[in-house]
Structure formats: C-alpha cells, structure tokens
Amino acid sequence: RDFFSNPDYGKKPGAKKTASFLHPSISADEALSGLDKGGNNMLLNVDIPIFSMGFGGFKGYNTIELRERSFVGASIPYDFFEFAKEMKNKDYTFDDLGMRAWSYMELGFGHSRRIYDNLRVGAKVKLLFGIGYADVSMSNVHASLEGDHWVLDGKARAEVNMKGAKFKEKVEEYKSTPGKYYKRVDGLDVDGTGLNGFGLGLDLGAVYEVKDCSLSWLNGLKASLALTDLGFINYGNKIVAESSGKTFEFDGFNNVAVKEESGATIEDKTDEVSDKLADFANLETKPEESGGSSSHGLGATLRFGLEYPIPSYNKLKFGFLYTHRYSDLYAWSEGRLSANYAPAKWLDGGINLGFSSFSNL
C-alpha cells in the first residue's frame, strides 16, 4: 500500500484523511507491508480500437483492425521505500528504479481457421507505426552510511524518441561557488507531432475443445493459449541525456558554526548540499549518443485459459485465466478464477476472483 488512513485526521487542524507511507505515526512494518521485495510497478495500458471489421473467407474467419496503443510504467524497488522510511545503517540498492512510456498505432490483419473438429488456430500480422518512446532509468545506484554521513552513487539515463523532440537546457550557477556554472536538462521541447517509426508485430493463438473422450467428465473442456505482441518498433530521432555519475555525500546540518565564530551559516551548508545534489542528479545532454534511431520490443504477453461446463448442468461454467506480460522491469502476472451462470438465453451472470503481482493503493 502507498496510502494509509491519516492518524492525525480529526485530531489536528488541516490534517487530511489519507497520508503517505512516510507519515511518522505509521510504523515501518505497516508502511512496507504489501510491497514486493523486488520491483514494485505502477502501470497504465491504453488500447483504443478505432476501426475493426470481420468477414469469412480463405477457409476461415478474417479480421482487419486499427488501434491506438499506449503504455506508461514506473518501477520502484523495495529498497527505495525502505531507505525513505527507515534510513538504517545498511546498504540500499535502487537498480530497478525507472520510468518508461511509449505510443504507437497498430494495423492488424488476422486469420483463424478450424484445423480439426476440436482445434482452432489463428494468427495476426500487425504493421506498427511508432509515435513516441521515452525511458528514464537508474543504474548501479547505492546508498550507504559511511561513518557519520550518507553516500549515494550511481547514474541516471534518459532516452527519448519523438519527432521534433529535443531537451531544453539551462545554465545554472553553483550556489556555493559564484562564477562557476553547470548545464542541466530543464525539460523536453517537442516541435511537431506525427509518426516517428515503423515496426512489425505478430499474435498467435489456439483453442482446443475436448470431444468424444472416453472420460466423459472431460468432454466440453476448452483450453486456450495465446502469445501476443511479439515484435518491435524502430523509433527515429533518438536523444539521450545522462547524469555525471558523481557521488553525493550528505552529513546533515549538524556542526555548522554560527556566523560570528567562523563566518559559516546554515545557508552556506544548504548551498553546499544543493550543489552536490545537482552534480549527482542533474541530467546532461549526450550529443555523441543522440541522433539516428533505436529499436524497442513490444513486451510479449502470454495467456492461458481453461473453461469447464458442469456435465450434468451445462448452464454453469467455471473458468481460469493466467496472464503474464514479459517486459523486463515492467513485467506482471495475473490469475483469475470465474464462475458463469446462464439460466436463459436472455439472462446470464458471473463472479470472478483475481490474483496479481500488483500492490494495492
């Protein structure tokens, strides 16, 4: 869970009904419960059908579809939440920290046919027209307590493929060193929109129904298997930015002498920490890696399903569906059990129970 009931709600003026896991009155055990020990994903998949039609022919059934598809995902490792909540004397690793998004149009041509009386197979070839792709990732990021100060090291990288896109840059002056400057990425500027890549995709599937089996209780069982989104898109106009890879050290704001004694103030210490953080975290454009194109996989999805009608009462059916998305940091799994009841042609209903690798909000 990421949000909890606020212990201060109704007790302190202005307290909101919900609070984040960082609230001091929420224990670490409660705050971190429900989080996966590896990566924790927040994903949004959008699949919008624009046009579709189907017709019989070629000894089977055919479809033509045009769809718009988008994906946005974030992966946050368990250590990140643990570090933010506890900051214990131990090493933390944030290698699975990242965000990714892409968008494309899909024109698909599908065909399915019955091979045997109890087996039907199908395939869909898809032409893919890329619109945009963006990936921000962190690598070899560690946080450790060394003596009386924290040390963070690692690198961040951003790659964007979008027509007319370029990073906006800003020159900043170091707060603790007047006259010394650094350059940082200050956003993304997109001059124009439109297609920015091309790719190919493939969907495969099959459905098998048990018939005339000597074990009569198996008759009517249907099993289905599908593997979709096999393929890639080659996006153009690649731009890249990276952090410097410098370490960040922070020892708090203790031991800061008052101005009358040494000339140092808390503002001076704040400026020093701000400059160190800027060197560690700010992204800088990488012209030598920008330009040209890059290819990215779609992230294949496996689906396996079973449907079983009760032999003595075929108006009641039970089902199971397992889904797994292959997409490195953004992979996920889900299982669903269902019961469907159709006492009449005009009336049916059902219930289902799902299990997934996602955390609850």
Q: Given this model, what pLDDT does residue 47 score?
A: 95
- Cβ(187)–Cβ(166) below 8 Å: no
For residue 327, what are the contacts with CB-CB under 8 A and spacing of at least 6?
73, 299
Q: Given this model, what pLDDT does residue 265 score?
A: 59
Q: Given this model, what pLDDT does residue 259 score?
A: 44
At 319, which helix (H) or strand (E)?
A: strand 313-325
CA distance 180 to 272: 13
For the chain of 361 residues, list the mean pLDDT of each consecutive stretch of 10. Answer: 73 79 81 80 92 95 97 90 81 86 97 95 98 91 82 91 91 85 87 88 97 87 97 95 85 50 60 78 88 92 96 89 92 94 87 79 47
β-strands 347-356, 332-344 pairing: antiparallel
β-strands 18-20, 3-5 pairing: antiparallel
DSSP assignment of 53-71, as one string? EEEEETTEEEEEEEEEEEE
- Model pTM score: 0.83
Which two three-digit tokens encode residue 108?
A: 């698909």
